[in-house]
Structure 1
Amino acid sequence: MGNGRVTVVDIAKAAGVSKSTVSLVLQGSPLVNEATRAKVTAVMRELGYVYNRGAANLRQSGANSKIIGVVVNDLTNGFFAELAVGVDMVVQSAGFVQFLANTSENLDRQREVIASMREHGISGLIVSPARGTKASDLKPLVAAGIPVVVAVRQVPGAKVSSIVSDNHDGLFAAVRHLVALGHRRIAFLGGFRDTAVFMERLQGYRDAMAGCDLTPDEALVIDAGPSRAGGFDAIGRALALADPPTAAVCFNDAVAFGACDGLRAAGIEPGKDFALIGFDDVIEAKTAVPALTTISVDPQGMGRRAAQLLLKQISAGKPEAEAIVASVRLVVRESCGAPATPETAQAPQAG
């Protein structure tokens, strides 16, 4: 057990039974009585043993696992669907199969799907972690020598590779653009305050406001679910303020789409009566009405880079953590009320 892997032999010794008995328990054989089965199961749980079904099936053929696990926190958000497509492009061409799971921000569900993926012998894991994920949640994978790449959200203290977007500079550029258009009351809509992504984007918002000699009004920072429904709720609360905003930067494109819905419900036309900027640049952003001004992250590109990073680690045999911060750019369309030009489509640099 010194290398972090608990074996069938370890289980047998701890339970005081033979290796073959442990194997029968793992196979669900009726030849093992219930008392022995319960004892062996308790020891496996105590030692943190994960039955690698894929490895067991492949031992006879001598093949290697060709499965990549991909776990995302919200597959209803188009961003994560595009990210998964980017991952698939790379792993498929490398002869791997993608095993995709959605956690819906549920930590218990995340643990279950990761355990199931380990059972099927994944070669590596790409995960956009659920809220509240801790380094200890990923430690068993690291201890087992399974390469891990965290995407979109960082996990503080986790000794794994990561790829995230430049959240601070993205929001900084968005606010600067709205100020240049004449706006002074600019809201920040959506997102969960207990995530690093929210805090990084919020800091970009605050720094840009301060850099433009505008005092950030905390009443204009309205957190809500990072979804279309969350955006609808957030814009409603913003418009109800005694001194409502004339523009908003949104946590992501889904929030921006919901804000557009909320504005129309209030008889306000987005892009004409109110300026909006999203974050992500999902496929729908370009074809939305009005077309959405947004911070382009290139979700598919992020997925491709995450997959390339993971395959590099799998090939090396010994994962070494790397951190990538992907650059972003402002893409100006109709929702901010300004014409799109090559000049305004470039992101101002922070500072």
Structure 2
Amino acid sequence: MSRERVTVIDIAHAAGVSKSTVSLVLQGSPLVNEGTRARVNAVIRELGYVYNRGAANLRQSHSKSKIIGIVVNDLTNSFFAELAVGVDMVVQSAGYVQFLSNTGESVDRQREVIASMREHGISGLILSPARGTEAADLKTLVASGIPVVNVVRQVAGAKVSSLVSDNRTGMHEAVRHLAGLGHGRIAFLGGFPDTAVFADRLAGYRDAMVAMGLVPQDDLVISSAPSRAGGVAAIERALVLNERPTAAVCLNDAVAFGVCDGLRAHRLEPGSDFAVIGFDDVIEAQTAVPALTTISVDPQGMGRRAAQLLLKQINAGNAEAEAVVSSVRLVVRQSCGAASDKRERLALL
């Protein structure tokens, strides 16, 4: 292969990595592990590739486009699809287009897609961080002057703007509502314990249990993937407890839908035999059977606010990072309407 014809794509193919990873190595990024860096550099030497840093810098200086990056951790959760719609409403009217990508909770994949977006000259990034994301993962973005807004999940120590829902208040209201219906054993289902959103919502759950004169019990807190499948797994574990719960607050609506699936698998009807409350208020919550009681965060509205916050930073240049907490509200539907005689029947099963 002639030296003049060697490209980044050739290197990526020979090294068995993505083009974005090769670019990170060429830029000297700390985001690439040493093993991968050594392998890529060996291929670069073998193929005789010469990195024209001056040309690269010139490309980058002229590469800013009217593109907004949006990277989410789980696009199978309809919450993020609705969030992206809200973002698009705002950025489109401002003359931008959005570049959407899904990480599937992989920090490595997240690094690659962000690197790829940088190559396309994004003007800003809206990020729902993958599980395990650290401040160092956002360091190069901040250093390059690309505005970032973290949504849903915060990253400790990251000097970027954030937009999260009022997790504690929302979960507090959900528990209060169930306690007011006469439930004493209320489970908290779903979510990864090592995420900030889990910690915040669990804190709201425990605070409300105490405030309502109930005793928070560790066996009623059941973690799982924050997905529909995770909801099925969580309710399976809850139903084999010696003292079953009669109601559950769920980390999000996806978990709540899975909980309803799991209940039906045991011939228990959500809303009649067991009370379920979600968190998000995705569109499907209104049309589900029974309709899902949930904490509404207005996903599309959250997307619009995130986009407005990002555009504000883009237009201001070096704007200070902002931390915004959006308000939430309890939306009561049919899934929480367990009657007392049904709860008594469940306890005897």
Q: TM-score range by the shorter chain?
A: 0.7 to 0.9
- Counterpart-to-counterpart distance in 1, 2:254 and 2:326: 20
Q: 1:147 to 1:50 in 2, by over 3 A?
A: farther
Q: Secondary structure at the match of 1:46?
A: coil
In structure 1, the partner of 2:28 is 46
Alignment pair present for 1:181 and 2:181 = yes
Give distance in 2, aligned partners of 1:101 and 1:53. Answer: 24
- Name the residue aligned to 1:256: 256
Taking the aligned partners of 1:330 and 1:58, their CA distance within structure 2 comes to: 47
Question: Which residue matches 1:315?
Answer: 315
- 1:297 and 2:292 aligned: no
Q: Is the 8 A contact 2:72 2:103 kept in 1?
A: yes
How many angstroms apart in 2 are the aligned matches of 1:50 and 1:316?
Answer: 32
How many Å apart are 1:43 and its aligned residue? 7.6
Report deviation, 1:24.
8.3
Q: Deviations over 1:103-153 (max 9, x none)?
A: 000000000000000011000000000001001100100000000000000
Amino acid at match of 1:176: R
Which position in structure 2 is the counterpart of 1:105? 105
**C-alpha offsets along residues 229-287 of structure 1, whole Å, 9 cap, x if unaligned?**
00011001101000000000000000000000000110101000110000000000000
Determine the C-alpha separation between the residues in 2 that align with 1:271 and 1:132: 35
**Take 1:29 and 1:216, find their aligned partners in 2: how far apart are those partners?**
58
Taking the TM superposition and a 5 Å limit, the aligned residue runs for 1:92-131 are 92-131=92-131
| 3-state DSSP of counterpart to 2:68 | strand
Are the counterparts in 2 of residues 163 and 306 from structure 1 also a CA contact under 8 Å? yes
Q: Summarize the alignment of residues 261-300 of structure 1 with structure 2, pairs less than 5 Å apart.
A: 261-300=261-300
Counterparts of 1:276 and 1:50, CA distance in 2: 59
The answer to whether 1:205 aligns with 2:208 is no
Tell me the amino acid that sits aligned with residue 289 of structure 2.
Answer: V
Paired residues of 2:186 and 2:248 also in contact (CA < 8 A): yes
Tell me how far 1:56 sits from its aligned partner: 2.8
| SS class of match (2:159) | coil
Across the two proteins, how many residue pairs are aligned to each other? 306
Aligned to 1:4: none
TM-superposed CA distance for 1:329, in Å, is 0.2
SS at match of 2:336: coil
Distance 1:217 1:50 in 2: 61
For 1:176 and 1:222, locate their aligned partners in 2 and report how far apart those are by CA, in whole Å: 19
* 8 Å contact from structure 1 (residues 271, 336) kept in 2: yes
Given that 1:332 and 1:338 are in contact with CA atoms closer than 8 Å, whether structure 2 keeps it comes out as no
Which letter does structure 1 place at the counterpart of 2:136? Answer: S
Higher percent of residues as helix:
2
Instruction: Check the 8 A contact 1:281/1:297 in 2, yes or no.
Output: yes
- 2:142 aligns with 142
Q: 1:338 to 1:236 in 2, by over 3 A?
A: closer
Letter in 2 for 1:175: V
User: Using the alignment, how far apart are the partners of 1:317 and 1:133 within structure 2?
Assistant: 25
Q: Which amino acid aligns with 1:128?
A: S
Where structure 2 has 5 or more consecutive residues not aligned to the other structure, the ranges are: 12-21, 31-50, 340-349
Q: Measured at CA, do residues 29 and 225 of structure 1 come closer, stay the same or move farther in structure 2, by a change above 3 Å?
A: closer
Cross-structure match for 1:162: 162
Partner SS state of residue 28, structure 2: helix
Change (3 A) 1:50 1:106: farther
Contact 2:151–2:164 under 8 Å retained in 1? yes
Structure 2 Cα separation of the partners of residues 41 and 209 of structure 1: 51
Q: Residue 83 of structure 1 corresponds to which residue in structure 2? A: 83
5+ long unaligned stretches in structure 1: 1-21, 31-39, 340-351
Q: Which residue of 2 aligns with 1:191?
A: 191
**1:166 to partner: Cα distance:** 0.4
What residue number does 1:12 align with?
none
Aligned to 2:46: none
C-alpha distance in 2 between matches for 1:240 and 1:278? 21
> How far 1:317 sits from its partner (Å)?
1.2
Q: 1:269 to 1:53 in 2, by over 3 A?
A: farther
Deviation of the 1:319 alpha carbon: 2.8
* Residue 28 of structure 1: how far off its partner (Å): 7.4
Matched, 1:56 2:59: yes
On the 8 A contact 2:64/2:122 being kept in 1, the answer is no
**Aligned partner of residue 335 in structure 1, secondary structure:** helix
Match for 1:249: what amino acid? Answer: V
Q: 1:336 to 1:159 in 2, by over 3 A?
A: same
What one-letter code is carried by the residue in structure 2 that aligns with 1:324? Answer: V
| Distance (Å, rounded) in 1 between the aligned partners of 2:4 and 2:88 | 35
CA distance in 1, matches of 2:24, 2:128: 31
Residue identity in the other structure for 2:59: A
The separation in 2 between residues aligned to 1:43 and 1:222, in whole angstroms, is: 41
Q: Quick one: percent identity of the two aligned structures?
A: 71
- The amino acid of 1:46's aligned partner reads G
